[in-house]
Amino acid sequence: MTTKQDCIALDAQDPLRALRKLFNIPANTIYLDGNSLGVMPAATPARVADTVAREWGTDLIQSWNKNGWFAMPQQVGNKIARLIGAGANEVVATDSTSINLFKVLSAAMNIAAADAPQRKQIVSERSNFPTDLYIAEALCQQHGMEIVLVEPEDISASLTANVAILMLTHVNYRTGAMHDMAAVTAAAHAEGILTVWDLAHSAGAVPVDLMAAKADFAVGCGYKYLNGGPGAPAFVWVNPLHTDRFWQPLAGWWGHATPFEFTPDYRPAAGITRYQCGTQPIISLAALDCGVDTLLAADAHGGMAALRTKSLALTDLFISLVEERCAAQGLGLATPRDHAQRGSQVCLTRDEGAYAIVQALIARGVIGDYRAGDGDRHKDILRFGFTPLYIGFEDVWNAVEHLRQVLESGEWQRPEFNKKHAVT
Amino acid sequence: MTTKQDCIALDAQDPLRALRKLFNIPANTIYLDGNSLGVMPAATPARVADTVAREWGTDLIQSWNKNGWFAMPQQVGNKIARLIGAGANEVVATDSTSINLFKVLSAAMNIAAADAPQRKQIVSERSNFPTDLYIAEALCQQHGMEIVLVEPEDISASLTANVAILMLTHVNYRTGAMHDMAAVTAAAHAEGILTVWDLAHSAGAVPVDLMAAKADFAVGCGYKYLNGGPGAPAFVWVNPLHTDRFWQPLAGWWGHATPFEFTPDYRPAAGITRYQCGTQPIISLAALDCGVDTLLAADAHGGMAALRTKSLALTDLFISLVEERCAAQGLGLATPRDHAQRGSQVCLTRDEGAYAIVQALIARGVIGDYRAGDGDRHKDILRFGFTPLYIGFEDVWNAVEHLRQVLESGEWQRPEFNKKHAVT
């Protein structure tokens, strides 16, 4: 049996422990929701204040040149590229994940229309994050295509000659299950199918190597493991094989070859810059830059490989402590035990009370979240994210101890924990 | 002849003068570029710092409910609605102007396809802001439509039975010329044509009454006269007649009727909420909220009508001082003299040296900007924006005096003033 002392000892030995002080962890809080909104880096308030008061407040419009605002989407993109196995000048930080997905799906549909017009299907997972499905559905309607939703074990069989695009989220938001990007991409390519990857729960959380996997398109989120702040700009990557073949219909001036010549006709910029559209929210982009910098500070401590090792140790510990200390409390495990199939979160299921249990934990300062199920296949979920940058092993012990108390005491059955909020 | 003393006296009598102290005007600067990037309100740094350090840093994910992040696009939208003659719950602050234009043009094209499928043209102005033309061009390619670009005097004649949509920017970014929104909309409607208005240079600058004009769709910018900060989120308005008829293809989860039920199928929210797509950059949105609040502080001093009166007095003064004090310097006037046709900026032309003259003025702390021409019809432009919230009459005097000195001395011919920057 693991003890609290064991956990404290693990923290003492943790080579990444020094990174915790780079973050502002609120008092009396065990924050297991970094997969929804990452914690604020300690450096962010000063960085944002400088962007606001000096760059905007004093330098005003001159900041586009003087303070490098113009190149920020590319510069932040280049930093993100290092986390996802992309090359320099292949990523821009811009817009939202949904909008970037619209861009890359549009481009992928254009490629498919040119190269394999008989292919009319997009395959995705039924439990993919809904916005990805909504965007694909809207584009399918426009392009006379069809979206086919399957369970993860049926993906392989669904890759037929009718399929143009396989669109997957690398780490599932509900279960934390991770696809083998290289193997799935190879299987798709063997059938002549393009791949679009959503890295929302991967970038900064698990090792990603888009170029090694020969992926075609990817998008991802700035406000989860990149710690970019609420609603931080997202990012988009396109394999250089495809970048210059088509442009995308969100053809705004920031994707133009020469935006400040103000020509009436659209001429797309070379490379990933054509995946920009309008002016970006610079203050939020500065916060994202700071978040990515803070993550890259892990490079001095073993980088993404060390983060992955610790992430798996944290999620292994959480699973084993829940099973040891909350046995017979009706909890199930939705997240794969196999390391190769696990992201950086653990999802528990319970037939009754998942929402209220999460609320009771939040009241105790253990912040996870709840995701509603839709039946036997997808049960209600208690979702806990483990960001190895700032979560420790003692945190895991304490979180499970709170969970044990909430369940054993029946505390979660109090009426106040059943009140619904707009955002869950 | 107007004297500097006259200008100082006008400032002393200005009922809006008190508003100037709500802004952080940099020392030794006459900022005539609020039509590109508005000045920072004095309250913004504290507001942004609170959003970052308390809301994000301390309350973290709970801020979506506790600190009202969830409803911010609507709440800021409702404030903007008051400035543009829109009703409550008809505007959301979200994404960029380019992306919002994509949404409303898509919706307008869907309406046209349903109601008048034989209409295959979009009419716009050749000198409309280029990103508007690029977005329309991309959508026309997708929808088998055609964009027809005309000069402003030819708009009326171009409104034929082939036209589905008239897309105009209310105040032209190059010339400051303003359309009569009500008259143009009525002329379009008389021919069965929908109208899409870009209010980038209007919202907060001139009185706008979308509902009185019976306009169909509008978008606008948060970082110009709304003082929302660099790349602030934009806004979108749809006439309630149309809002629920179609949705738009950027059908992300934030436009869903119940986003936190995470259903796999898209069901658009009622009303303007369906014009949202992904998660918004909350830090930048907080800065926009603060900018709009600062503008609404003018309500206690006569509001938009008083701002308009002062704006016209400022631009009249600038025109007359340039003509009095810079006569025979080769300057022309691109902005209409007729008040009914003028926005809140004045654009001068010069056959030679427009770019260098602007750079020489910037070196003296008079910040305007340059827009390249494309021949006789559209000459190179020296562009000066007059934001009545924080620009005074003495500022106008001093700006013209600098312009006089730059021209008379030939100072603008120095080589350093011909160096090009990425962003002009």
Q: Do B422 and A250 touch (CB under 8 A)?
A: no
A129 catalytic per annotation: yes
Element (H, E) at A293: helix A282-296
B404 catalytic per annotation: no
Task: Nearest by CB to A279, from B49, B96, B126: name it.
Answer: B96
Q: What is the mean pLDDT of residues A395-418?
A: 97
**What are the phi and psi torsion angles at A237 (to 5°)?**
-125, 140
Question: Does residue A15 belong to the interface with chain B, where contact is any CB pair within 8 Å?
Answer: no
Q: A182 is written with which tokens?
A: 């290289």
In tens, the pLDDT along B172-219 reads: 999 999 999 999 999 999 999 999 999 999 999 999 999 999 999 999
What is the percentage of chain A residues whose pLDDT exceeds 90? Answer: 95
User: What is the reported pLDDT for B109?
Assistant: 97
Which residues, 6 or more positions from B383, have their beta carbon under 8 angstroms from its beta carbon? B35, B174, B176, B345, B347, B368, B369, B370, B371
What is the percentage of chain B residues whose pLDDT exceeds 70? Answer: 99
Place of tokens 């992201």: A343
Place B373 in a pLDDT band, splitting at 50, 70 and 90: confident
B244 catalytic per annotation: no
User: What is the reported pLDDT for A47?
Assistant: 98
Question: Does residue A95 belong to the interface with chain B, where contact is any CB pair within 8 Å?
Answer: yes
Q: Does the pLDDT at position A353 exceed 90?
A: yes
Place A173 in a pLDDT band, splitting at 50, 70 and 90: very high
Q: A172 is written with which tokens?
A: 């599932």
Q: What's the ipTM?
A: 0.97
DSSP letter string over A81-113?
A: HHHHT--TTSEEE-S-HHHHHHHHHHHHHHHHH
A383 catalytic per annotation: yes
Q: Do A283 and B282 touch (CB under 8 A)?
A: no
Q: Do A40 and B48 touch (CB under 8 A)?
A: no
**What are the phi and psi torsion angles at B172 (to 5°)?**
-65, 135
What is the percentage of chain A residues whose pLDDT exceeds 70? Answer: 99
Place B16 in a pLDDT band, splitting at 50, 70 and 90: very high
Q: Domains in chain B and their CATH numbers?
A: 4-42+302-418 (3.90.1150.10), 68-297 (3.40.640.10)
Q: Do B131 and A52 touch (CB under 8 A)?
A: no
**C-alpha closest to that of A118 among A154, A150, A146, A158:** A146
Q: Alpha carbon of B126 to those of A265, B278, B296: distances in Å?
A: 10, 32, 34
CA–CA separation, B84 vs B202, rounded Å? Answer: 9
* Residue A209 three-state SS: coil
- Confirm or deny that B98 is annotated as ligand binding: yes
Residue B237 is given by DSSP the state E
A1 or B282: which leads in pLDDT: B282
Q: Alpha carbon of A356 to those of A362, A401, A414: distances in Å?
A: 10, 17, 8
Question: Does residue A26 belong to the interface with chain B, where contact is any CB pair within 8 Å?
Answer: yes
Number of H-type helices and E-type strands within chain A: 13, 13
User: What is the reported pLDDT for A423?
Assistant: 76
**C-alpha closest to that of B417 among B358, B369, B338, B339:** B358
A395 catalytic per annotation: no
In tens, the pLDDT along B309-358 reads: 999 999 999 999 999 999 999 999 999 999 999 999 999 999 999 999 99
Nearest CA distance, A69 vs chain B (angstrom): 9
Chain A residues touching B130 at Cβ < 8 A: 253, 256, 259, 262-264
User: What is the reported pLDDT for B407?
Assistant: 98
Quickly count: other Cβ atoms within 10 Å of residue A75's Cβ.
15
Radius of gyration of chain A (CA): 22
CA–CA separation, B203 vs B234, rounded Å? Answer: 11
Q: What is the mean pLDDT of residues B383-406?
A: 98
- Compute the count of residue pairs across chains A and B with CB atoms less than 8 Å apart: 300
Q: What is the mean pLDDT of residues B58-73?
A: 97
Which residues, 6 or more positions from B393, have their beta carbon under 8 angstroms from its beta carbon? B6, B7, B8, B10, B11, B14, B313, B314, B317
Which residues, 6 or more positions from B167, have their beta carbon under 8 angstroms from its beta carbon? B105, B122, B123, B124, B128, B132, B136, B195, B196, B198
Question: Does residue B36 belong to the interface with chain A, where contact is any CB pair within 8 Å?
Answer: yes
Please identify among residues 381-410 of chain B the ones whose CB lies closer than 8 Å to any CB of chain A: none
Quickly count: other Cβ atoms within 10 Å of residue A367's Cβ.
23
Phi-psi map region of B334: left, alpha, beta (phi>0 left; psi -120 to 50 alpha): alpha
Q: Does the pLDDT at position B375 exceed 80?
A: no
Task: Check if the beta carbon of residue A236 is closer than 8 Å to that of residue A103.
Answer: yes
Task: Give residue B242's identity as a one-letter amino acid code.
Answer: H
User: What is the reported pLDDT for A1?
Assistant: 84
Q: What is the mean pLDDT of residues A157-172?
A: 98
In tens, the pLDDT along A288-342 reads: 999 999 999 999 999 999 999 999 999 999 999 999 999 999 999 999 999 999 9
* Residue B123 three-state SS: strand
Which residues, 6 or more positions from A327, have their beta carbon under 8 angstroms from its beta carbon? none
Place B38 in a pLDDT band, splitting at 50, 70 and 90: very high
Please identify among residues 256-295 of chain A the ones whose CB lies closer than 8 Å to any CB of chain B: 256, 259-266, 277-285, 287
Question: Does residue B333 belong to the interface with chain A, where contact is any CB pair within 8 Å?
Answer: no
User: What is the reported pLDDT for B372?
Assistant: 87
DSSP letter string over A170-183?
A: SB-TTT-BB--HHH
* Residue B91 three-state SS: strand
Q: Does the pLDDT at position B166 exceed 80?
A: yes
* Residue A164 three-state SS: strand
* Residue A416 three-state SS: helix
Length of chain A: 424
In DSSP terms, which residues pair with A238 in a beta bridge?
A217
**C-alpha closest to that of B250 among B91, B93, B102, B144:** B102
